[in-house]
Amino acid sequence: MKLNRKRALVTGGSAGIGYAIAWAYAKEGADVAIHYNASEKSAAELKEKIERECGTRAMCIQADLDSDDAIRNMVASVTQTLGRIDILVCCAGIDQKISVSDMTMEDFDRMIRIDLRSVVLCNKLVLPAMLEQGFGRIINVTSQLGQIGGIDTAHYSAAKAGVIAFTKSLAREVGKRGVNVNCIAPGPVDTRMFASNPPEWIARKLGELPLGRIGQAHEVAPAAVLLAADPDGNLFVGQTLGPNCGDVML
């Protein structure tokens, strides 16, 4: 198994892409901490499924990522329970469709706090132990909109672009010390966030995709396994992988 005896924290692990990544990690032998904010039932069901079918350890941890104290408590609790954090996946986030004209600065600030600041703080908090042990994998799940922008998503796109730039910078800082930091920038994926778009927008997007369909969450998870594994992910440093159905080609 590619992640045998590794210990991972996955934020947003109770739903969508985060759920798929947490499950994929457990199947590869990792102990997994499943972060959630409001989806306690889904997180608990995944924990039970992991323990029953994979035989690895799992835990659920609630935290509001709009709170620095909650993030600190989450990382401390996971470290205490699992013993260490070898892999961090920052997948949690929020979305909002609103034009710049209608967007308030409160809208902007909240988006930056949750989709960018919380990622930075999570990365910062796990780093000391990873650097001390000489091994770590940090995977920040961003979005293709951080690469190309999007209508009515300026604050979201700005936050996701910030995640990509932060990831590159941190990767340069710590790559020689055994910690690899990378991004995954999914395109359209069948999640609640995608389904919240207007039907006409969804139909138009489907027509634009070279693959001819949107992705499924379980199709994104292998990229997270690749980046976390040794030796599979050893040469990926500051990269942004794009499982996006061909919507963005770089």
**How many Cα atoms occupy the beta-carbon half-sphere of 102 within 13 Å?**
7
Banded pLDDT at 205 (limits 50, 70, 90): confident
How many whole angstroms separate alpha carbon 79 and alpha carbon 82? 5
Helix-strand-coil split of the chain, %, nearest 5: 50, 15, 35
How many whole angstroms separate alpha carbon 95 and alpha carbon 74? 22
User: Residues 19, 25, 36, 156: which is the catalytic one?
Assistant: 156
Angle at the Cα of 89 from the Cα atoms of 87 and 95, rounded to 5 degrees = 175
The answer to whether the predicted template modeling score (pTM) of the entire model surpasses 0.85 is: yes
Rounded mean pLDDT of 197-225? 92
Rounded mean pLDDT of 120-143? 98
Rounded mean pLDDT of 141-170? 97
Tokens 């207007």: give the residue.
198
In this structure, what are the phi and psi dihedrals at residue 9, rounded to the nearest 5 degrees?
A: -115, 125
Whether residue 231 is preceded by a cis peptide bond, meaning omega within 30 degrees of 0, is: yes
Average pLDDT score, the chain = 97
Query: Do 29 and 7 contact (CB within 8 A), yes or no?
Result: no
Banded pLDDT at 199 (limits 50, 70, 90): confident
Counting DSSP H helices and E strands in the chain, the numbers are: 10, 7
Tokens 């967007």: give the residue.
103
Q: Where are the beta strands (DSSP E) in 2-73?
A: 7-11, 31-36, 58-62
Tokens 């770089």: give the residue.
250
Catalytic residue status for 36 = no
pLDDT at 233 (0 to 100): 98
pLDDT tops 90 at residue 202: no
